[in-house]
Structure 1
């Protein structure tokens, strides 16, 4: 569970095209959601960009980690974490999404001087963002508790969807060498940056194909206890994996994400 990353801090390198560079959450109660993640991950918050409406950027040690915005009251959209994949030309990428059977639901549009964005979905319906950075290239800190550690697509099967992401974003897909596992790792410049997990009918009926963001924690059991105290839900018992200890959880509004305590 490694990821193509630049250096941390304000002077970090730009993300290579295709690399997950940001995660964003749209919710109904912005203040309550800020309180939850402030207590769980130690995040602080800064407003903006204004073009995105009621939107804040989460910070760790003054460096940007993620974004949280407010859903329009007249739209019944799922509350979910959405990864943004880096692009050098969001308009061209959006065109390619459409040509390859996906859809673009928002944008492309400018987010002030921060950059340019779009939100789309793949042919199976999983939602993702596209980000062309300007002043804001993406998350400025990683590999510490409270930061995104990994993004994985959970879908029916990997075959067609992996081809979509390969064509649109230039990923190199590497399939698991096992007849019992339907999993593809997506590489950028030879480095793993995300995964696709084909789970067939095991997908939740109320969710369908979706991206899952993993956030790093220092102590798994304590993090799960704190999450429950704050009104979140533990959806599955913590389990050991080749990457560390992992647990599926949800925040008080139902947004699902995973916690991971890395090995080593």
Structure 2
């Protein structure tokens, strides 16, 4: 798979204090298998769907604290230049661009409204080997309480164009790289407890949403929303037993008409 255009989601990973429990949970819910753990890279362990690399799980580094959370990485041809734009647009670089062997260069950052994300400059590891198939990444949304800050940041750093979803019930925007829609942004309402920080919600495709939810809750996960039908697919929002939020979606089960969009002002 070719290197993705700048600003396109290209990888996802998460830190888990109990790596074996995470492997068992996602193996059951998403059907993942796992490669060998790489001690020279901090225990980094790739996850596979039908033999294709789709994500990774990793144990925490010494002193690394906080609950588990999925981190979405955006493609960049030059991680150092992207880090510079992150600062210029009010973001915070949490980890300076760091080369990871021959695999590529990574950077971690926080956008001005608080969501953490990664940047990946591909080397031999180009990112997702499959997307939008069962077990693989298919979509992501920035959940924020300060949409103006997030919108200005992501369009400024990655050059996205933005459109607003024509739905009075929610404040939702989509971001495009060229003609491809690559990211959503949802304004967090009072339905979200105040202790829940802004974050990027990652969606994984599944063959059957209800079966995935049953597998997740049966292994100690928490159902936070859904399952619900939509024009995009039947989906549900979950938390795994170690606190990482994610969503599952059956892209083949769609209901209703696609909402319209208008150009962002």
TM over 0.5: yes
Aligned with residue 182 of structure 1, among 149, 168, 171: 171
Aligned to 1:141: 130
- 8 Å contact from structure 1 (residues 157, 200) kept in 2: no
Q: How does 1:1-16 map to 2 (within 5 A)?
A: 12-16=1-5
Counterpart position of 2:76: 87
Bigger mean CA deviation after superposition, 68-77 or 245-254: 68-77
Q: How does 1:147-158 map to 2 (within 5 A)?
A: 147-158=136-147
Secondary structure of the equivalent of 2:229?
A: strand
In the TM superposition, what is the alpha-carbon distance from 1:14 to its structure 2 partner?
1.2
Q: Residues 47-196 of structure 1: matches in 2 within 5 Å? A: 47=36, 52-178=41-167, 180-196=169-185
> For each residue in 1:177-229, what CA deviation from the matched residue of structure 2 results, as whole angstroms up to 9, or x when unmatched?
35553111000111111100112444332222110001111111111111122
Q: Give the C-alpha shift of residue 143 in structure 1.
A: 2.0
Q: Distance in 2 between matches of 1:64 and 1:52?
A: 17
Does the alignment pair 1:209 with 2:172? Answer: no
Q: State the distance in 2 between where 1:48 and 1:92 align.
A: 31
Deviation at 1:86, TM superposition (A): 0.4
Gap runs ≥5 in structure 2: 255-265
Unaligned runs of 5+ in 1: 1-11
Rounded to whole Å, the distance in 1 between the matches of 2:229 and 2:52 is: 30
Match of 1:222 in 2: 211
Note the C-alpha offset of 1:49: 5.7
User: TM-score of the superposition, structure 1-length normalised?
Assistant: 0.90
How many residues matched? 253
SS in 2 for 1:59: strand
Q: How much has 1:136 moved relative to structure 2? A: 0.7
* Runs of 4+ off more than 4 Å: 48-51
31-40 vs 114-123, which deviates more?
31-40
Measured against aligned partners, the alpha-carbon deviations of 1:135-185 in whole angstroms (never above 9, x if no partner) come to 011000122111111010011142221111011011111122355531110
Taking structure 2 as the reference length, the TM-score comes to 0.90
| Corresponding residue for residue 232 of structure 1 | 221
- Determine helix, strand or coil for the equivalent of 2:225: coil
